[in-house]
Each structure stands twice: as C-alpha cells, then as structure tokens.
Amino acid sequence: MIMELKNGLKMPIIGLGVWRMEGKSIRDLILNAIKIGYRHFDCAGVGATASALDQDGVLEIDTTISLKPPGMLWKIWFQWIWFAVLESGEACQIETHPYFQRDSLVKFCQKHGICVTAHTPLGGAVANTEWFGSVSCLDDPVLKGLAQKYKKTVAQLVLRWGIQRNSVVIPKSSKLERLEENFHVFGFELTKEDMELIKGVDRKL
C-alpha cells in the first residue's frame, strides 16, 4: 500500500526506522527488511546510516529513503517553517500513537493535503520519554483486548490503527521476527467502533 503525496510521488505506507543504528547492523537489517517487502526506510541522522546504506548495492532498487540532517530544522524560524509547510509541504513526520494521538494536528495536515508520517508509532521510545514523558502503549488493557479479538499482536493492532488514520507508520526494530510481524498488518481492518474505542486511550500528553 502506498500514500500519494501532493507532488504525485508515492510513499509506502509502512516503513522501517533505523535511528541510532550504525554500520553493519543497519546494512544487514535493511537487506532482511527488503526481503520481507519493505521499501521505505527512515534514516534519521544521515552520517553512519547513509554510508552503511551505500554499500552492497542496497539502494539499487525502488526504495523510499527519508533523510533528516540533525538539528537543521531547529535553526529556522518556526513561522517560516509553518508558512512553508502550508504552501508546499508534502509530508509532516511527528510522534503519534494511541497514547499521543494529536488528532487536531493530524486532521489539520490532512486537510491541507500534507501526508502525516508517524515516527515512534508504538510509543515508548527514548525520544518521547525524554521529551513528552509518554510510555509504551503495548501493555494497555484496551489494546490488548482488541489484539486478542483480531488475533493479532498489540503492535500489529496499533500499526493498523495508524494506517487507518491515513498516516504512514515507520516503526523501529532490529529483530527479524518483529520486522515480519510489523509488516503483516494489511490482512485485517479495525471496525469504526474499535477505532473509536482506541480514541479513548489517548493520554493527550
């Protein structure tokens, strides 16, 4: 499945985050992910990640790579960014998951044709504990109950929820079994009632 951007380019709706990974571990991870079917890789922090990706012909196939030079955006006035986003923005990458849903921001972006990309879509990473104080939503009793209902893992349920919000999700994992688990989220669909139920676990952090 893909998300079409305003400029006509197509972005796979599920990707793989490789933040804070380096060297051979990234290369092996991405090779395995490509075999599974991933075609979208989020390289947050260019450096070692980009140099690792450039080896062994990993990028000689049709992939989507997101590159974010560290600290670049923080050096630009917020107002300039905001007007630029409204005028020409294609995608907005934010932290969003069931405990931090940011519904108004998601709807605002979608209203203006800006594709929402969810980093940390399962919650609980270093980024959101340090910055937002949030925790992983994978132990939430409501989400666990729904996962049992659909006979899926909680992670699969949460990723499916993100996709049904019309957002791109880029979970991070270094384990092969998790890569496979996270990618297999297209064989089921959450009901409107269950989407509403998940709205109720938002902690509005």
Reported as a single tens digit per residue, the pLDDT across 61-84 is: 455 555 455 454 444 444 445 555
Angle at 185 between CA 145 and CA 42, to 5 degrees: 115
pLDDT at 53 over 70: no
Confidence band of 96 (pLDDT split at 50, 70, 90): very high
Reported as a single tens digit per residue, the pLDDT across 102-120 is: 999 999 999 989 999 998 8
Confidence band of 138 (pLDDT split at 50, 70, 90): very high
Give which of 121, 189, 125 is closest to 158, Cα–Cα: 121
pTM above 0.85, yes or no: no
- For residues 204 and 80, which has the higher predicted lDDT (pLDDT)? 204
> Residue 50: enclosing H or E segment and its boundaries?
helix 47-53
| Residue 113 DSSP SS3 | coil
Structural domains in the chain, sorted by start:
2-199 (3.20.20.100)
Say how far apart CA 167 and CA 195 lie, in whole Å. 14
pLDDT for residue 46: 46
